[in-house]
Chains A and B, each alone.
Chain A
Protein backbone atom coordinates (compact mmCIF):
# COMPACT_ATOMS: atom_id res chain seq x y z
CA UNK A 1 0.00 0.00 0.00
CA UNK A 2 1.14 3.45 -0.82
CA UNK A 3 1.79 5.79 2.06
CA UNK A 4 3.60 9.02 2.64
CA UNK A 5 6.75 7.51 4.07
CA UNK A 6 7.07 5.14 1.14
CA UNK A 7 6.51 7.91 -1.43
CA UNK A 8 9.16 10.06 0.19
CA UNK A 9 11.65 7.20 0.20
CA UNK A 10 10.94 6.48 -3.45
CA UNK A 11 11.57 10.09 -4.40
CA UNK A 12 14.90 10.03 -2.60
CA UNK A 13 15.88 6.78 -4.31
CA UNK A 14 14.74 8.02 -7.71
CA UNK A 15 16.85 11.15 -7.34
CA UNK A 16 19.90 9.28 -6.23
CA UNK A 17 19.84 6.47 -8.78
CA UNK A 18 18.57 8.41 -11.76
CA UNK A 19 15.21 6.66 -11.78
CA UNK A 20 11.52 7.42 -12.20
CA UNK A 21 8.49 6.53 -10.14
CA UNK A 22 5.37 5.06 -11.76
CA UNK A 23 2.10 4.27 -10.05
CA UNK A 24 -0.38 1.56 -10.94
CA UNK A 25 -3.24 0.11 -8.85
CA UNK A 26 -1.90 1.77 -5.72
CA UNK A 27 1.54 0.24 -6.15
CA UNK A 28 4.52 2.46 -6.75
CA UNK A 29 7.36 1.18 -8.86
CA UNK A 30 10.84 2.61 -9.17
CA UNK A 31 12.15 2.36 -12.73
CA UNK A 32 15.92 2.28 -12.82
CA UNK A 33 18.45 2.19 -15.67
CA UNK A 34 20.27 -1.13 -15.98
CA UNK A 35 23.69 0.18 -14.94
CA UNK A 36 22.30 1.49 -11.64
CA UNK A 37 20.72 -1.71 -10.32
CA UNK A 38 23.86 -3.20 -8.76
CA UNK A 39 24.87 -0.10 -6.73
CA UNK A 40 21.20 0.57 -5.96
CA UNK A 41 20.66 -2.94 -4.58
CA UNK A 42 23.78 -2.60 -2.48
CA UNK A 43 22.44 0.66 -1.06
CA UNK A 44 18.94 -0.80 -0.50
CA UNK A 45 20.52 -3.56 1.53
CA UNK A 46 23.15 -1.62 3.46
CA UNK A 47 21.64 1.82 3.92
CA UNK A 48 17.88 1.50 3.61
CA UNK A 49 17.37 -1.78 5.44
CA UNK A 50 15.77 -3.79 2.62
CA UNK A 51 17.07 -7.10 3.86
CA UNK A 52 14.88 -9.53 1.90
CA UNK A 53 14.71 -9.98 -1.85
CA UNK A 54 11.11 -11.16 -2.09
CA UNK A 55 10.86 -11.69 -5.79
CA UNK A 56 12.96 -11.44 -8.91
CA UNK A 57 11.58 -12.08 -12.34
CA UNK A 58 11.53 -10.97 -15.95
CA UNK A 59 8.84 -9.76 -18.33
CA UNK A 60 9.19 -10.15 -22.09
CA UNK A 61 7.38 -7.65 -24.32
CA UNK A 62 8.09 -9.46 -27.56
CA UNK A 63 10.77 -9.07 -30.21
CA UNK A 64 9.24 -5.94 -31.76
CA UNK A 65 9.55 -3.86 -28.59
CA UNK A 66 12.71 -2.19 -27.40
CA UNK A 67 13.69 -2.54 -24.61
CA UNK A 68 12.29 -6.00 -24.93
CA UNK A 69 12.89 -7.30 -21.40
CA UNK A 70 12.15 -5.78 -18.04
CA UNK A 71 13.65 -7.15 -14.85
CA UNK A 72 11.22 -6.88 -11.95
CA UNK A 73 12.49 -6.91 -8.38
CA UNK A 74 10.72 -6.65 -5.10
CA UNK A 75 12.68 -5.81 -1.98
CA UNK A 76 11.22 -6.01 1.50
CA UNK A 77 12.36 -4.38 4.67
CA UNK A 78 11.09 -6.61 7.47
CA UNK A 79 11.96 -4.26 10.32
CA UNK A 80 10.96 -1.12 8.41
CA UNK A 81 7.68 -2.65 7.29
CA UNK A 82 8.21 -1.51 3.71
CA UNK A 83 8.20 -3.07 0.28
CA UNK A 84 9.87 -1.67 -2.79
CA UNK A 85 9.10 -2.56 -6.41
CA UNK A 86 11.90 -1.97 -8.86
CA UNK A 87 11.73 -2.37 -12.61
CA UNK A 88 14.75 -2.34 -14.87
CA UNK A 89 14.27 -2.16 -18.64
CA UNK A 90 17.04 -4.12 -20.33
CA UNK A 91 17.88 -2.84 -23.82
CA UNK A 92 19.57 -4.78 -26.56
CA UNK A 93 19.27 -8.12 -28.30
CA UNK A 94 21.59 -10.00 -25.94
CA UNK A 95 20.30 -8.71 -22.61
CA UNK A 96 22.78 -8.54 -19.79
CA UNK A 97 22.12 -7.52 -16.20
CA UNK A 98 24.56 -7.40 -13.27
CA UNK A 99 23.92 -10.08 -10.68
CA UNK A 100 22.62 -9.29 -7.20
CA UNK A 101 23.86 -12.60 -5.86
CA UNK A 102 26.55 -11.03 -3.70
CA UNK A 103 24.08 -8.78 -1.94
CA UNK A 104 21.06 -11.09 -1.74
CA UNK A 105 22.09 -14.74 -1.79
CA UNK A 106 18.70 -15.98 -2.94
CA UNK A 107 19.14 -14.05 -6.19
CA UNK A 108 21.30 -16.98 -7.27
CA UNK A 109 18.50 -19.40 -8.16
CA UNK A 110 16.06 -16.68 -9.18
CA UNK A 111 18.56 -15.32 -11.69
CA UNK A 112 19.27 -18.81 -12.95
CA UNK A 113 15.55 -19.15 -13.55
CA UNK A 114 15.48 -15.91 -15.55
CA UNK A 115 18.50 -17.09 -17.50
CA UNK A 116 16.91 -20.45 -18.17
CA UNK A 117 13.46 -19.25 -19.19
CA UNK A 118 14.27 -15.85 -20.75
CA UNK A 119 17.94 -16.00 -21.71
CA UNK A 120 19.00 -13.02 -19.63
CA UNK A 121 22.75 -13.08 -18.94
CA UNK A 122 23.73 -12.11 -15.42
CA UNK A 123 27.24 -10.78 -15.43
CA UNK A 124 29.28 -11.86 -12.44
CA UNK A 125 26.97 -14.75 -11.56
CA UNK A 126 28.83 -17.65 -9.98
CA UNK A 127 26.76 -20.51 -11.37
CA UNK A 128 24.78 -19.49 -14.44
CA UNK A 129 23.34 -22.83 -15.52
CA UNK A 130 19.84 -23.86 -16.50
CA UNK A 131 17.76 -24.68 -13.45
CA UNK A 132 14.31 -25.89 -14.46
CA UNK A 133 14.82 -27.06 -18.04
CA UNK A 134 17.26 -29.85 -18.97
CA UNK A 135 20.86 -28.71 -19.36
CA UNK A 136 20.89 -29.43 -23.12
CA UNK A 137 17.64 -27.61 -23.87
CA UNK A 138 17.59 -25.17 -26.76
CA UNK A 139 15.78 -21.86 -26.52
CA UNK A 140 14.17 -20.00 -23.66
CA UNK A 141 10.58 -21.14 -23.10
CA UNK A 142 9.04 -18.07 -21.49
CA UNK A 143 10.03 -15.77 -24.34
CA UNK A 144 7.06 -14.57 -26.32
CA UNK A 145 8.44 -15.94 -29.59
CA UNK A 146 8.72 -19.44 -28.15
CA UNK A 147 5.62 -21.46 -29.06
CA UNK A 148 3.69 -23.29 -26.37
CA UNK A 149 4.48 -26.87 -27.25
CA UNK A 150 2.89 -26.70 -30.67
CA UNK A 151 3.11 -24.55 -33.76
CA UNK A 152 0.77 -21.63 -34.11
CA UNK A 153 -1.88 -22.30 -36.78
CA UNK A 154 -1.61 -19.95 -39.72
CA UNK A 155 -4.66 -18.64 -41.57
CA UNK A 156 -4.82 -16.45 -44.63
CA UNK A 157 -5.44 -13.32 -42.60
CA UNK A 158 -2.45 -13.75 -40.29
CA UNK A 159 -0.12 -15.94 -42.36
CA UNK A 160 2.72 -13.43 -42.61
CA UNK A 161 2.37 -12.24 -39.06
CA UNK A 162 2.91 -15.74 -37.69
CA UNK A 163 5.42 -16.80 -40.33
CA UNK A 164 8.05 -14.39 -39.00
CA UNK A 165 7.81 -16.03 -35.59
CA UNK A 166 8.47 -19.55 -36.87
CA UNK A 167 11.82 -21.06 -35.93
CA UNK A 168 12.84 -21.45 -39.59
CA UNK A 169 12.39 -17.73 -40.14
CA UNK A 170 15.27 -17.12 -37.75
CA UNK A 171 17.44 -19.72 -39.40
CA UNK A 172 16.91 -17.97 -42.71
CA UNK A 173 18.07 -14.79 -41.07
CA UNK A 174 14.71 -13.21 -40.36
CA UNK A 175 12.17 -11.89 -42.75
Chain B
Protein backbone atom coordinates (compact mmCIF):
# COMPACT_ATOMS: atom_id res chain seq x y z
CA UNK B 1 0.00 0.00 0.00
CA UNK B 2 1.50 3.30 -1.03
CA UNK B 3 -0.46 5.45 1.37
CA UNK B 4 -2.77 4.86 4.25
CA UNK B 5 -6.01 6.74 3.98
CA UNK B 6 -7.85 7.80 7.07
CA UNK B 7 -10.75 5.48 7.74
CA UNK B 8 -14.15 7.00 8.30
CA UNK B 9 -16.66 5.10 10.36
CA UNK B 10 -19.87 6.53 8.90
CA UNK B 11 -22.65 4.31 10.19
CA UNK B 12 -20.27 1.57 11.27
CA UNK B 13 -19.20 2.74 14.72
CA UNK B 14 -21.41 0.10 16.36
CA UNK B 15 -19.34 -2.62 14.70
CA UNK B 16 -15.97 -1.74 16.19
CA UNK B 17 -14.98 -2.00 19.84
CA UNK B 18 -15.04 0.95 22.24
CA UNK B 19 -11.26 1.01 22.19
CA UNK B 20 -11.31 1.97 18.53
CA UNK B 21 -13.48 4.99 19.28
CA UNK B 22 -11.01 6.09 21.95
CA UNK B 23 -8.15 5.66 19.50
CA UNK B 24 -6.50 2.81 21.34
CA UNK B 25 -6.74 0.42 18.41
CA UNK B 26 -5.96 1.17 14.80
CA UNK B 27 -8.47 1.21 11.96
CA UNK B 28 -7.13 0.16 8.60
CA UNK B 29 -8.66 -0.28 5.17
CA UNK B 30 -7.69 -3.44 3.33
CA UNK B 31 -8.88 -3.38 -0.25
CA UNK B 32 -10.90 -2.92 -2.39
CA UNK B 33 -7.81 -3.09 -4.60
CA UNK B 34 -5.64 -5.38 -2.54
CA UNK B 35 -4.30 -8.38 -4.45
CA UNK B 36 -4.99 -10.88 -1.68
CA UNK B 37 -8.67 -10.01 -1.35
CA UNK B 38 -9.37 -12.00 -4.55
CA UNK B 39 -11.37 -9.34 -6.28
CA UNK B 40 -12.92 -6.16 -5.03
CA UNK B 41 -13.50 -6.85 -1.37
CA UNK B 42 -12.96 -4.09 1.13
CA UNK B 43 -12.21 -5.02 4.69
CA UNK B 44 -12.27 -2.55 7.50
CA UNK B 45 -9.79 -3.89 10.01
CA UNK B 46 -9.54 -2.94 13.65
CA UNK B 47 -6.04 -3.81 14.78
CA UNK B 48 -4.42 -4.05 18.15
CA UNK B 49 -0.79 -4.06 17.11
CA UNK B 50 -0.78 -6.81 14.55
CA UNK B 51 -3.75 -8.69 15.98
CA UNK B 52 -7.11 -8.47 14.27
CA UNK B 53 -9.73 -7.31 16.77
CA UNK B 54 -12.49 -6.89 14.21
CA UNK B 55 -12.72 -7.43 10.48
CA UNK B 56 -15.73 -5.86 8.82
CA UNK B 57 -16.29 -6.86 5.19
CA UNK B 58 -17.73 -4.23 2.88
CA UNK B 59 -19.14 -5.76 -0.28
CA UNK B 60 -21.22 -4.67 -3.25
CA UNK B 61 -18.49 -3.28 -5.50
CA UNK B 62 -19.35 -5.85 -8.15
CA UNK B 63 -23.13 -5.68 -7.74
CA UNK B 64 -24.61 -5.69 -11.22
CA UNK B 65 -28.25 -6.42 -10.44
CA UNK B 66 -28.29 -9.83 -12.07
CA UNK B 67 -31.48 -10.86 -10.28
CA UNK B 68 -33.29 -7.74 -11.44
CA UNK B 69 -31.99 -8.09 -14.98
CA UNK B 70 -33.11 -11.68 -15.21
CA UNK B 71 -36.67 -10.68 -14.34
CA UNK B 72 -36.76 -8.67 -17.57
CA UNK B 73 -35.60 -11.53 -19.82
CA UNK B 74 -37.21 -14.76 -20.91
CA UNK B 75 -36.12 -17.95 -19.17
CA UNK B 76 -33.74 -18.94 -21.96
CA UNK B 77 -32.23 -15.53 -22.55
CA UNK B 78 -31.67 -14.93 -18.84
CA UNK B 79 -29.38 -17.92 -18.61
CA UNK B 80 -26.29 -16.13 -19.91
CA UNK B 81 -26.35 -13.95 -16.80
CA UNK B 82 -25.82 -16.94 -14.53
CA UNK B 83 -22.35 -17.46 -16.03
CA UNK B 84 -21.32 -14.03 -14.84
CA UNK B 85 -21.94 -14.66 -11.15
CA UNK B 86 -19.34 -17.15 -10.09
CA UNK B 87 -17.06 -16.85 -13.07
CA UNK B 88 -14.93 -19.79 -11.97
CA UNK B 89 -17.92 -22.10 -11.88
CA UNK B 90 -19.92 -21.11 -14.93
CA UNK B 91 -21.20 -24.57 -15.80
CA UNK B 92 -22.24 -25.17 -12.21
CA UNK B 93 -24.34 -22.00 -12.22
CA UNK B 94 -25.94 -22.98 -15.52
CA UNK B 95 -26.70 -26.38 -14.07
CA UNK B 96 -28.38 -24.96 -10.97
CA UNK B 97 -30.47 -22.58 -13.06
CA UNK B 98 -31.47 -25.25 -15.59
CA UNK B 99 -32.41 -27.70 -12.84
CA UNK B 100 -34.66 -25.04 -11.33
CA UNK B 101 -36.41 -24.42 -14.68
CA UNK B 102 -36.74 -28.15 -15.29
CA UNK B 103 -38.33 -28.60 -11.89
CA UNK B 104 -40.64 -25.63 -12.41
CA UNK B 105 -41.99 -26.73 -15.79
CA UNK B 106 -41.48 -30.49 -15.36
CA UNK B 107 -38.97 -31.11 -18.12
CA UNK B 108 -37.10 -34.38 -18.67
CA UNK B 109 -33.39 -34.62 -19.44
CA UNK B 110 -31.96 -37.48 -21.53
CA UNK B 111 -29.41 -39.82 -19.99
CA UNK B 112 -26.48 -38.66 -22.14
CA UNK B 113 -27.09 -35.05 -21.18
CA UNK B 114 -27.26 -36.00 -17.49
CA UNK B 115 -23.89 -37.72 -17.71
CA UNK B 116 -22.36 -34.83 -19.65
CA UNK B 117 -23.64 -32.42 -17.02
CA UNK B 118 -21.99 -34.35 -14.21
CA UNK B 119 -18.80 -34.65 -16.22
CA UNK B 120 -18.66 -30.93 -16.93
CA UNK B 121 -19.65 -29.93 -13.40
CA UNK B 122 -16.74 -31.99 -12.09
CA UNK B 123 -14.33 -30.60 -14.68
CA UNK B 124 -15.38 -27.17 -13.55
CA UNK B 125 -14.90 -28.11 -9.91
CA UNK B 126 -11.40 -29.22 -10.79
CA UNK B 127 -10.72 -25.97 -12.62
CA UNK B 128 -12.14 -23.87 -9.79
CA UNK B 129 -10.11 -25.73 -7.18
CA UNK B 130 -6.99 -25.27 -9.31
CA UNK B 131 -7.51 -21.51 -9.33
CA UNK B 132 -8.14 -21.58 -5.59
CA UNK B 133 -5.05 -23.69 -4.90
CA UNK B 134 -2.86 -21.53 -7.11
CA UNK B 135 -4.01 -18.18 -5.76
CA UNK B 136 -4.24 -19.12 -2.11
CA UNK B 137 -0.76 -20.64 -2.26
CA UNK B 138 0.43 -17.50 -4.01
CA UNK B 139 -0.96 -15.44 -1.11
CA UNK B 140 1.37 -17.42 1.13
CA UNK B 141 4.25 -16.74 -1.26
CA UNK B 142 4.33 -20.19 -2.87
CA UNK B 143 4.85 -19.00 -6.42
CA UNK B 144 5.44 -22.23 -8.29
CA UNK B 145 2.12 -23.83 -7.35
CA UNK B 146 0.34 -20.98 -9.04
CA UNK B 147 2.15 -21.70 -12.30
CA UNK B 148 1.53 -25.45 -12.11
CA UNK B 149 -2.17 -25.05 -11.30
CA UNK B 150 -2.81 -22.65 -14.14
CA UNK B 151 -1.01 -24.99 -16.54
CA UNK B 152 -3.57 -27.72 -15.84
CA UNK B 153 -6.45 -25.30 -15.70
CA UNK B 154 -5.53 -24.26 -19.22
CA UNK B 155 -6.14 -27.85 -20.35
CA UNK B 156 -9.63 -27.75 -18.86
CA UNK B 157 -10.31 -24.38 -20.47
CA UNK B 158 -9.25 -25.90 -23.80
CA UNK B 159 -11.77 -28.69 -23.32
CA UNK B 160 -14.46 -26.08 -22.73
CA UNK B 161 -13.41 -24.21 -25.83
CA UNK B 162 -13.60 -27.45 -27.77
CA UNK B 163 -17.19 -28.20 -26.81
CA UNK B 164 -18.71 -24.73 -26.67
CA UNK B 165 -16.39 -22.29 -28.41
CA UNK B 166 -15.95 -20.39 -25.16
CA UNK B 167 -13.38 -20.78 -22.43
CA UNK B 168 -15.33 -19.42 -19.50
CA UNK B 169 -18.83 -18.09 -20.22
CA UNK B 170 -19.97 -21.27 -21.92
CA UNK B 171 -23.75 -21.42 -21.28
CA UNK B 172 -23.30 -24.99 -22.49
CA UNK B 173 -25.93 -26.52 -20.22
CA UNK B 174 -29.40 -25.52 -21.37
CA UNK B 175 -32.89 -26.23 -20.04
CA UNK B 176 -33.72 -29.77 -21.10
CA UNK B 177 -30.18 -30.92 -21.79
CA UNK B 178 -27.03 -29.37 -23.19
CA UNK B 179 -26.42 -27.03 -26.12
CA UNK B 180 -25.20 -29.69 -28.57
CA UNK B 181 -23.33 -32.95 -28.52
CA UNK B 182 -19.62 -32.99 -27.75
CA UNK B 183 -17.19 -33.41 -30.68
CA UNK B 184 -15.23 -36.65 -31.12
CA UNK B 185 -12.02 -35.07 -29.85
CA UNK B 186 -13.66 -34.49 -26.47
CA UNK B 187 -13.03 -37.98 -25.15
CA UNK B 188 -9.34 -37.94 -26.05
CA UNK B 189 -8.87 -34.53 -24.46
CA UNK B 190 -10.53 -35.59 -21.20
CA UNK B 191 -8.64 -38.90 -21.11
CA UNK B 192 -5.41 -36.99 -21.56
CA UNK B 193 -6.31 -34.83 -18.57
CA UNK B 194 -7.35 -37.82 -16.47
CA UNK B 195 -4.06 -39.53 -17.22
CA UNK B 196 -1.89 -36.75 -15.90
CA UNK B 197 -4.11 -35.31 -13.17
CA UNK B 198 -3.46 -37.74 -10.26
CA UNK B 199 0.30 -37.29 -10.69
CA UNK B 200 -0.06 -33.54 -10.94
CA UNK B 201 -2.11 -33.36 -7.74
CA UNK B 202 0.70 -35.30 -6.04
CA UNK B 203 3.07 -32.70 -7.42
CA UNK B 204 1.11 -29.78 -5.92
CA UNK B 205 0.88 -31.61 -2.63
CA UNK B 206 4.60 -32.37 -2.56
CA UNK B 207 5.22 -28.63 -2.57
CA UNK B 208 2.73 -27.76 0.16
CA UNK B 209 1.22 -30.47 2.33
CA UNK B 210 4.31 -31.36 4.33
CA UNK B 211 6.15 -28.10 3.79
CA UNK B 212 6.96 -26.82 7.32
CA UNK B 213 6.52 -23.19 6.26
CA UNK B 214 3.09 -23.92 4.82
CA UNK B 215 2.07 -25.86 7.93
CA UNK B 216 3.18 -22.94 10.11
CA UNK B 217 1.06 -20.54 8.13
CA UNK B 218 -2.05 -22.72 8.00
CA UNK B 219 -2.34 -25.15 10.92
CA UNK B 220 -4.47 -23.79 13.75
CA UNK B 221 -5.26 -20.59 11.82
CA UNK B 222 -8.82 -19.40 11.24
CA UNK B 223 -10.44 -22.07 13.37
CA UNK B 224 -14.19 -22.53 13.51
CA UNK B 225 -16.12 -25.22 15.35
CA UNK B 226 -18.62 -27.43 13.58
CA UNK B 227 -21.56 -25.87 15.39
CA UNK B 228 -20.52 -22.31 14.60
CA UNK B 229 -19.76 -23.22 11.00
CA UNK B 230 -23.30 -24.49 10.45
CA UNK B 231 -24.85 -21.57 12.26
CA UNK B 232 -22.90 -19.09 10.14
CA UNK B 233 -24.21 -20.79 7.03
CA UNK B 234 -20.85 -22.07 5.85
CA UNK B 235 -21.15 -24.74 3.19
CA UNK B 236 -18.81 -26.63 0.94
CA UNK B 237 -15.21 -27.30 1.88
CA UNK B 238 -15.35 -24.70 4.68
CA UNK B 239 -18.03 -26.73 6.43
CA UNK B 240 -16.49 -30.11 5.67
CA UNK B 241 -13.18 -28.83 7.00
CA UNK B 242 -14.97 -28.50 10.34
CA UNK B 243 -16.16 -32.08 10.21
CA UNK B 244 -19.78 -31.64 9.09
CA UNK B 245 -20.87 -34.14 6.49
CA UNK B 246 -22.91 -31.96 4.15
CA UNK B 247 -22.49 -32.29 0.41
CA UNK B 248 -25.53 -31.68 -1.82
CA UNK B 249 -24.29 -34.39 -4.18
CA UNK B 250 -24.97 -36.90 -1.38
CA UNK B 251 -27.61 -35.00 0.59
CA UNK B 252 -30.02 -34.49 -2.31
CA UNK B 253 -28.46 -36.04 -5.43
CA UNK B 254 -29.23 -34.34 -8.74
CA UNK B 255 -28.36 -35.23 -12.36
CA UNK B 256 -27.76 -38.83 -11.32
CA UNK B 257 -24.95 -38.24 -8.81
CA UNK B 258 -26.24 -41.21 -6.83
CA UNK B 259 -24.89 -43.51 -9.57
CA UNK B 260 -21.28 -42.49 -9.03
CA UNK B 261 -18.90 -43.96 -6.56
CA UNK B 262 -17.07 -41.19 -4.70
CA UNK B 263 -16.26 -40.10 -1.21
CA UNK B 264 -16.81 -36.82 0.59
CA UNK B 265 -13.53 -35.80 2.23
CA UNK B 266 -13.87 -34.63 5.82
CA UNK B 267 -11.48 -33.05 8.30
CA UNK B 268 -12.30 -32.13 11.85
CA UNK B 269 -9.72 -29.44 12.65
CA UNK B 270 -11.72 -26.56 11.15
CA UNK B 271 -8.64 -24.50 10.31
CA UNK B 272 -7.07 -23.23 7.09
CA UNK B 273 -5.05 -26.40 6.69
CA UNK B 274 -8.15 -28.59 7.06
CA UNK B 275 -9.93 -26.66 4.33
CA UNK B 276 -6.84 -27.02 2.15
CA UNK B 277 -6.69 -30.77 2.70
CA UNK B 278 -10.42 -31.18 2.03
CA UNK B 279 -10.21 -29.34 -1.28
CA UNK B 280 -7.16 -31.24 -2.46
CA UNK B 281 -8.89 -34.52 -1.59
CA UNK B 282 -11.97 -33.28 -3.45
CA UNK B 283 -9.89 -32.77 -6.57
CA UNK B 284 -8.94 -36.44 -6.47
CA UNK B 285 -12.60 -37.40 -6.06
CA UNK B 286 -13.54 -35.21 -9.00
CA UNK B 287 -11.03 -37.06 -11.14
CA UNK B 288 -12.70 -40.30 -10.06
CA UNK B 289 -16.17 -39.03 -11.00
CA UNK B 290 -14.99 -37.73 -14.38
CA UNK B 291 -13.43 -41.12 -15.07
CA UNK B 292 -16.68 -42.93 -14.25
CA UNK B 293 -18.81 -40.48 -16.21
CA UNK B 294 -16.60 -40.78 -19.28
CA UNK B 295 -16.58 -44.56 -19.11
CA UNK B 296 -20.34 -44.84 -18.92
CA UNK B 297 -21.25 -41.90 -21.23
CA UNK B 298 -24.24 -43.43 -23.05
CA UNK B 299 -25.13 -42.70 -26.66
CA UNK B 300 -28.39 -40.93 -27.44
CA UNK B 301 -29.95 -37.49 -27.64
CA UNK B 302 -28.49 -34.63 -25.61
CA UNK B 303 -31.64 -32.53 -25.48
CA UNK B 304 -35.17 -33.22 -24.48
CA UNK B 305 -37.57 -33.64 -27.40
CA UNK B 306 -40.24 -31.61 -25.64
CA UNK B 307 -40.29 -28.78 -28.19
CA UNK B 308 -42.56 -26.64 -26.07
CA UNK B 309 -39.49 -25.83 -23.98
CA UNK B 310 -36.47 -26.89 -26.00
CA UNK B 311 -35.69 -25.51 -29.47
CA UNK B 312 -35.81 -28.23 -32.15
CA UNK B 313 -32.57 -29.15 -33.93
CA UNK B 314 -31.52 -26.93 -36.78
CA UNK B 315 -31.84 -29.77 -39.30
CA UNK B 316 -35.55 -30.18 -38.63
CA UNK B 317 -36.40 -26.55 -39.18
CA UNK B 318 -35.93 -26.81 -42.95
CA UNK B 319 -38.28 -29.75 -43.35
CA UNK B 320 -40.83 -29.54 -40.57
CA UNK B 321 -43.42 -26.78 -40.32
CA UNK B 322 -44.02 -27.58 -36.67
CA UNK B 323 -40.34 -27.34 -35.80
CA UNK B 324 -40.20 -23.92 -37.44
CA UNK B 325 -43.19 -22.73 -35.42
CA UNK B 326 -41.66 -24.03 -32.19
CA UNK B 327 -38.34 -22.40 -33.01
CA UNK B 328 -40.03 -19.08 -33.76
CA UNK B 329 -42.22 -19.17 -30.67
CA UNK B 330 -39.34 -20.10 -28.36
CA UNK B 331 -36.98 -17.38 -29.52
CA UNK B 332 -39.51 -14.59 -29.70
CA UNK B 333 -41.98 -15.21 -26.91
CA UNK B 334 -40.24 -17.90 -24.87
CA UNK B 335 -42.06 -20.59 -22.96
CA UNK B 336 -44.52 -20.04 -20.14
CA UNK B 337 -43.78 -21.49 -16.72
CA UNK B 338 -46.52 -22.09 -14.16
CA UNK B 339 -47.11 -19.83 -11.18
CA UNK B 340 -45.27 -21.29 -8.23
CA UNK B 341 -41.85 -21.43 -6.71
CA UNK B 342 -39.12 -24.04 -6.48
CA UNK B 343 -35.78 -24.22 -4.71
CA UNK B 344 -32.98 -26.26 -6.18
CA UNK B 345 -29.48 -26.62 -4.81
CA UNK B 346 -26.31 -28.01 -6.33
CA UNK B 347 -22.88 -28.49 -4.82
CA UNK B 348 -20.71 -25.82 -6.40
CA UNK B 349 -16.95 -25.86 -5.74
CA UNK B 350 -17.62 -23.29 -3.02
CA UNK B 351 -20.63 -24.81 -1.34
CA UNK B 352 -24.39 -24.91 -1.64
CA UNK B 353 -25.41 -23.04 -4.77
CA UNK B 354 -29.15 -22.62 -4.42
CA UNK B 355 -31.64 -21.19 -6.88
CA UNK B 356 -35.02 -19.95 -5.77
CA UNK B 357 -37.15 -19.52 -8.87
CA UNK B 358 -40.71 -18.28 -8.96
CA UNK B 359 -42.82 -18.19 -12.09
CA UNK B 360 -46.10 -16.35 -12.61
CA UNK B 361 -47.46 -18.15 -15.66
CA UNK B 362 -45.56 -15.95 -18.11
CA UNK B 363 -42.34 -16.35 -20.10
CA UNK B 364 -40.13 -14.42 -17.66
CA UNK B 365 -39.06 -15.33 -14.13
CA UNK B 366 -41.14 -13.40 -11.63
CA UNK B 367 -38.43 -13.66 -9.03
CA UNK B 368 -35.12 -15.42 -9.06
CA UNK B 369 -32.80 -15.50 -6.12
CA UNK B 370 -29.40 -17.09 -5.97
CA UNK B 371 -28.20 -18.45 -2.69
CA UNK B 372 -24.56 -18.07 -3.47
CA UNK B 373 -22.10 -19.93 -1.28
CA UNK B 374 -19.47 -17.18 -1.31
CA UNK B 375 -21.95 -14.69 0.16
CA UNK B 376 -22.66 -16.80 3.22
CA UNK B 377 -19.10 -18.04 3.53
CA UNK B 378 -17.63 -14.55 3.47
CA UNK B 379 -20.03 -13.52 6.20
CA UNK B 380 -18.18 -15.75 8.64
CA UNK B 381 -14.85 -14.02 7.96
CA UNK B 382 -15.00 -11.80 11.09
CA UNK B 383 -15.48 -14.92 13.23
CA UNK B 384 -12.64 -16.74 11.51
CA UNK B 385 -10.21 -13.83 11.62
CA UNK B 386 -10.77 -12.59 15.15
CA UNK B 387 -7.61 -12.85 17.25
CA UNK B 388 -5.27 -13.79 14.42
CA UNK B 389 -2.55 -11.72 12.80
CA UNK B 390 -2.97 -9.58 9.70
CA UNK B 391 -0.69 -11.96 7.83
CA UNK B 392 -3.00 -14.83 8.79
CA UNK B 393 -5.98 -12.92 7.48
CA UNK B 394 -4.58 -13.34 3.99
CA UNK B 395 -4.40 -17.10 4.51
CA UNK B 396 -7.93 -17.15 5.89
CA UNK B 397 -9.45 -15.22 2.98
CA UNK B 398 -7.68 -17.59 0.63
CA UNK B 399 -9.04 -20.60 2.47
CA UNK B 400 -12.68 -19.45 2.26
CA UNK B 401 -12.31 -19.41 -1.54
CA UNK B 402 -14.52 -16.46 -2.37
CA UNK B 403 -15.34 -15.11 -5.79
CA UNK B 404 -16.61 -11.58 -5.51
CA UNK B 405 -18.83 -11.96 -8.54
CA UNK B 406 -20.56 -14.70 -6.60
CA UNK B 407 -20.87 -12.55 -3.49
CA UNK B 408 -22.24 -9.41 -5.13
CA UNK B 409 -24.16 -10.80 -8.09
Chain A residues packing against B (C-beta within 8 Å): 1, 24-27, 29, 51-55, 57, 59-60, 72, 74, 78, 81, 83, 85, 104-106, 108-110, 117, 126-127, 129-135, 141-142, 146, 148-149
Contact = CB atoms under 8 A, between A and B. Distances in A.
Contacts of A52: 230-231, 233, 235, 246
Interface stretch (B34-42, B134-142, B336-344): B336-344
B233 A60 contact: no
Interface centre among B59, B251, B252, B343 (most CB of A within 10 A): B343
A24 B104 CA distance: 9
Contacts of B356: 55, 57, 72, 74
Contacts of B227: 51
B145 interface: no
Interface string B164-203: 0000000000000000000000000000000000000000
Nearest to B12: A129
B376 interface: yes
Contact of A109 (B230, B354, B369, B376): B376
Contacts of A148: 65, 68-69, 71-72
Interface string B362-386: 0000110101000110011000000
Interface in B1-26: 10-12, 14-15
Interface residues of B, number: 48
Given A51-B231, A127-B14, A74 B69 contact: no
Contacts of A142: 67-68
A53 B233 contact: yes
B220 interface: no
A83 B252 contact: yes
Contact of A133 (B60, B343, B352, B366): B60
B79 interface: no
Interface in B45-64: 59-60, 63
A108 B60 contact: no
A29 B343 CA distance: 11
B358 interface: yes
A109 B375 contact: yes
Contact of A54 (B11, B69, B103, B354): B354
B313 interface: no
Contacts of B371: 54-55, 57, 74
B156 interface: no
Interface string B222-253: 00000110111101000000001110000110
Classify the secondary structure of A's interface with B.
loop
Closest 4 CB pairs of A and B: A106-B233, A24-B340, A57-B369, A55-B371
Given A54-B345, A83-B252, A148-B69, A135 B231 contact: no
Contacts, number: 109
B245 A78 contact: yes
9 contacts: A24-B341, A29-B341, A52-B246, A57-B371, A59-B366, A106-B231, A106-B233, A110-B376, A148-B72
A134 B60 contact: yes
A6 to B, nearest CB: 12
A55 B358 CA distance: 14
Contacts of B233: 52-54, 104-106
Nearest to A148: B72
Nearest to A55: B371
Contact of A106 (B10, B106, B379): B379
B392 interface: no
Nearest to B14: A127
A24 B12 CA distance: 42
B172 to A, nearest CB: 25
B246 to A, nearest CB: 5
Nearest to A56: B371
Nearest to B228: A105
B408 interface: yes
Contacts of A53: 233
Interface in B236-274: 244-246, 251-252
Nearest to A52: B230
Nearest to A114: B369
Given A25-B106, A27-B343, A129-B11, A59 B376 contact: no
Nearest to A106: B233
B342 A24 contact: yes
B332 to A, nearest CB: 19
Contacts of B14: 126-127
Contacts of A59: 341, 358, 366-367
